[in-house]
Chain A
């Protein structure tokens, strides 16, 4: 059970404080420079409402990017639980960028290369640095457990309040 390939990034957007440290450490880890434009994870913000949503590759089981790649440069590595780019095969056509429903495939205009989250080979730095646990690395089967519990709690509380009224 507890293999690397079974773990996924779980993002709790309510907990995100919008600090963007994940973007910073991602770029330093992968490209050895500080630059959010190189980050594989991006915090999308609605600043006027105070809403922050970290977005990263979902490592889809049946990934549109893999299906659409004309050079067969993308494949899912089940052992590491991620979708990978083979740069030897990649022709830089950016089809993957346009088909990704999450905007999680990026194109670096300076290096002229596509890039995406590789889960830091099983030790995601964004998770390590997120003190508020807005991003966690969990067993894929557990993703919905807590969510269900929290939703149930909300329902329960609402029911109690309704009774009191």
Chain B
């Protein structure tokens, strides 16, 4: 049985539009969402293409389960070659866009070319129009969305947009939808800006067939019970992701002052409870909001309580904004976190990247590597809230020498700044790390070092490694659906067995990204949440397609390999400090100064780290250089890629 789901090819240069079905054979190999996008990228991006050139395809998709009766399938995936890293670019976001795109008749968009002048796409019930966006250019992310709704006189239109950061080709600009749902990391908004594509507006009233409606409803209810009974999701639903801050900071996992400390001095103002209090004071007792069909409702609503932005409505802030505008720059004001969060939402820029890159610049300034002339007179010291927020404006507007320089991302900036600046930059493959400090947690360090889109926690992080779960529990999770009888350790400071955990998580996250499910609904923060064994029924009841847990695992492994093949093709080599599977030297050389007793003094052990990488490569079927073995490619059916079936 085939699914009636479509892919649209849109050429912004010529205005040509072509619509095709998605063959079942491709579905069974790459499932949908991120996996199918990886296939499209590998097949449509010319080798070595300039990420800002018309040839770079921008891929937008929903997952296999998007707009079905499966729980929390709100995710939109966006992929292209990254202008930040020159490698794989990939963003995954919640909200309401992907389901609406599905009801408008499409599950995948392949956008090529470059519009001559600002344009936006209007997609409705199987029709695709390229429209003039002069009236939108220069507008913020939310202004753009409201203006499109007004132009179409329809409040139900959902939009994927860029803000000024994307227009100004900031290399880590986001694509955004709603108030704060962000397609962050790797600069997909910059690619959209290079195409002069301000927005993709969708409105759909078409049916998505449900193969077995009664069973699909029943199973959805079962999933919801499983998901909402998890303590971690209950906490998420009360405090949002900021809840992670309290625990992580207390044991010493928050990098502070760029990378000088692994813990931010306690400050009431940026603790989750204070942020929750502000939401309660400014919105009311019920201040959590949700993405499409999700019962976790992890996003807070708030109004900025004080200062020049007082009264403005926004959503969040996430744990990442606490780091970007709290821990890393060592600022300790709730107002700064909330304003910073608001600015990145409005400009449409990655909060992790901007927080990290400004903190890096702060360290360079304090070390005398950046001069006051270069900062344009700004006293860019740690703890200077005003300078921090001013730099957000300058980067997004590409204003001044430093604003221009940092807008090109860490590696290009370090080449321009020179001296020893690169050695201070906490990045992998050209993308800065979020504010987490992995020096005491080898599993997490391996995850950021090997993640396919550069330093990132959402590709393969075994977050449950921090819970000290009994080995018996770990074994139950990590030896399904494929057997694993190697070592596993409950100790988060250990190196034993971690490569398998990272490998397992990499496949788990790929599977949910292919299905279009949110990671809070799988084994990310909660060990009791659904995974491979639970998905086949959801897929069958909703789509009629049958897969075994092992088949889903194989698909995930294949899609991860294809992402790796793309990165290898575009220049990834194992030990390259700018494009490799490695970490900044500070992970190995500078011990943790704060935190729990078993954390203080920790560094990543170089030899053990190398061994972990070797072992991780072995699990993936790569040789010691990190290249896929011919037998691996044959096993996965990837030996003749690019196969150009789509």
Closest to A131 in B: B295
Closest to A132 in B: B297
Closest to B149 in A: A47
Contact A33 B221 (CB under 8 A): no
Residues of chain A lying within 8 A (CB to CB) of residue B376: none
Contact B293 A24 (CB under 8 A): yes
Which of B20-28, B208-216, B415-423, B483-491 lies at the interface with chain A?
Answer: B208-216
A129 within 8 A of B: yes
B598 within 8 A of A: no
- Within the complex, the shortest CB–CB distance from A68 to chain B, in Å, comes to 26
Question: 1/0 per position for A15-49, CB-CB distance to B under 8 A?
Answer: 10111110011001101111111100000010111
Residues of chain B lying within 8 A (CB to CB) of residue A132: 286, 295, 297
Contact B224 A129 (CB under 8 A): yes
The answer to whether A50 and B68 touch (CB under 8 A), given A34-B210, A131-B295, is no
Residues of chain B lying within 8 A (CB to CB) of residue A29: 213, 217
Please, how many angstroms separate the alpha-carbon atoms of A50 and B290 in the complex?
A: 11
Please, how many angstroms separate the alpha-carbon atoms of A79 and B297 in the complex?
A: 37
Task: Please classify how large the interface on chain A is, using the bins under 10, 10 to 19, 20 to 34, 35 or more.
Answer: 20 to 34
The answer to whether A37 and B205 touch (CB under 8 A), given A28-B213, A29-B213, is yes
Please, how many angstroms separate the alpha-carbon atoms of A21 and B178 in the complex?
A: 17
Please, how many angstroms separate the alpha-carbon atoms of A125 and B290 in the complex?
A: 19
Residues of chain A lying within 8 A (CB to CB) of residue B206: 35
Residues of chain B lying within 8 A (CB to CB) of residue A125: 217
Residues of chain B lying within 8 A (CB to CB) of residue A109: 205
B575 within 8 A of A: no
Closest to B207 in A: A33
The answer to whether A36 and B103 touch (CB under 8 A), given A47-B179, A48-B146, A128-B221, is yes
Contact A34 B294 (CB under 8 A): no
Residues of chain A lying within 8 A (CB to CB) of residue B178: 47
Question: 1/0 per position for B149-184, CB-CB distance to A under 8 A?
Answer: 000000100000000000000000000001100000
B228 within 8 A of A: yes
Residues of chain A lying within 8 A (CB to CB) of residue B205: 35, 37, 109-110
Please, how many angstroms separate the alpha-carbon atoms of A14 and B221 in the complex?
A: 23
B250 within 8 A of A: no
Contact B220 A25 (CB under 8 A): yes
Contact B289 A17 (CB under 8 A): yes
Residues of chain A lying within 8 A (CB to CB) of residue B216: 28
Mark out the residues of chain B between 246 and 271 whose CB falls within 8 Å of any chain A CB in the assembled complex.
none
Question: 1/0 per position for B295-322, CB-CB distance to A under 8 A?
Answer: 1010001000000000001010000000
Number of interface residues of B (CB under 8 A): 39
Please, how many angstroms separate the alpha-carbon atoms of A131 and B295 in the complex?
A: 7
Residues of chain B lying within 8 A (CB to CB) of residue A33: 207-210, 213
Question: How many A-B contacts if CB must be within 8 Å?
Answer: 89
The answer to whether A50 and B213 touch (CB under 8 A), given A17-B288, A18-B290, A45-B155, is no
- Within the complex, the shortest CB–CB distance from B231 to chain A, in Å, comes to 15
Please, how many angstroms separate the alpha-carbon atoms of A3 and B285 in the complex?
A: 33
Contact A48 B210 (CB under 8 A): no
- Within the complex, the shortest CB–CB distance from B158 to chain A, in Å, comes to 10
Residues of chain A lying within 8 A (CB to CB) of residue B288: 17
Contact A48 B313 (CB under 8 A): yes
B413 within 8 A of A: no
Please, how many angstroms separate the alpha-carbon atoms of A163 and B304 in the complex?
A: 28
Question: 1/0 per position for A81-102, CB-CB distance to B under 8 A?
Answer: 0000000000000000000000
Residues of chain A lying within 8 A (CB to CB) of residue B301: 50
- Give the one of A36, A50, A129 with max B CB within 10 A: A50
Contact of B217 among A28, A35, A110 (CB under 8 A): A28
- Within the complex, the shortest CB–CB distance from B142 to chain A, in Å, comes to 7
Contact B69 A25 (CB under 8 A): yes
Residues of chain B lying within 8 A (CB to CB) of residue A49: 313
- Give the one of A14, A28, A45 with max B CB within 10 A: A28
Mark out the residues of chain A between 107 and 157 whose CB falls within 8 Å of any chain B CB in the assembled complex.
109-110, 125, 128-129, 131-132
Contact B289 A20 (CB under 8 A): no
Please, how many angstroms separate the alpha-carbon atoms of A19 and B68 in the complex?
A: 14
B292 within 8 A of A: yes
Question: 1/0 per position for B53-67, CB-CB distance to A under 8 A?
Answer: 000000000000001
Contact B228 A25 (CB under 8 A): no
B291 within 8 A of A: yes
Contact B228 A35 (CB under 8 A): no
- Give the one of B69, B228, B285, B292 with max A CB within 10 A: B69
Closest to A27 in B: B207
- Within the complex, the shortest CB–CB distance from A125 to chain B, in Å, comes to 7
B284 within 8 A of A: yes
- Within the complex, the shortest CB–CB distance from B193 to chain A, in Å, comes to 24
Contact A129 B315 (CB under 8 A): no
B369 within 8 A of A: no
Mark out the residues of chain B between 614 and 634 whose CB falls within 8 Å of any chain A CB in the assembled complex.
none
Contact B315 A48 (CB under 8 A): no
B244 within 8 A of A: no
Contact of B293 among A14, A21, A110 (CB under 8 A): A21
Closest to A38 in B: B207
Contact B286 A14 (CB under 8 A): yes
- Within the complex, the shortest CB–CB distance from A2 to chain B, in Å, comes to 24
The answer to whether A19 and B217 touch (CB under 8 A), given A47-B178, A132-B297, is no
Residues of chain B lying within 8 A (CB to CB) of residue A52: 289
- Within the complex, the shortest CB–CB distance from A38 to chain B, in Å, comes to 8
B458 within 8 A of A: no
Please, how many angstroms separate the alpha-carbon atoms of A25 and B216 in the complex?
A: 10
Contact B142 A48 (CB under 8 A): yes
Residues of chain A lying within 8 A (CB to CB) of residue B297: 17, 19, 132
Residues of chain A lying within 8 A (CB to CB) of residue B286: 14-15, 17, 132
B283 within 8 A of A: yes
Contact of A20 among B142, B155, B293 (CB under 8 A): B293
Question: 1/0 per position for B206-240, CB-CB distance to A under 8 A?
Answer: 11111001001100110010001000000000000
Mark out the residues of chain B between 585 and 627 whose CB falls within 8 Å of any chain A CB in the assembled complex.
none
Contact B315 A20 (CB under 8 A): no
Please, how many angstroms separate the alpha-carbon atoms of A141 and B221 in the complex?
A: 29
Query: Which of B's residues lie within 8 Å of A, judged by CB?
Result: 67-69, 96, 103, 142, 146, 155, 178-179, 205-210, 213, 216-217, 220-221, 224, 228, 283-286, 288-295, 297, 301, 313, 315
Besides A37-B103, A132-B297, 7 new A-B residue pairs in contact (Cβ under 8 A), listed by A number:
A21-B293, A21-B294, A21-B295, A32-B209, A32-B213, A50-B283, A52-B289
The 3 closest A-B pairs by CB, nearest first: A19-B290, A33-B207, A17-B290
- The contact sample of 9 A-B pairs, CB cut-off 8 A, is A15-B286, A18-B289, A19-B292, A28-B217, A32-B209, A34-B208, A35-B103, A50-B283, A132-B297
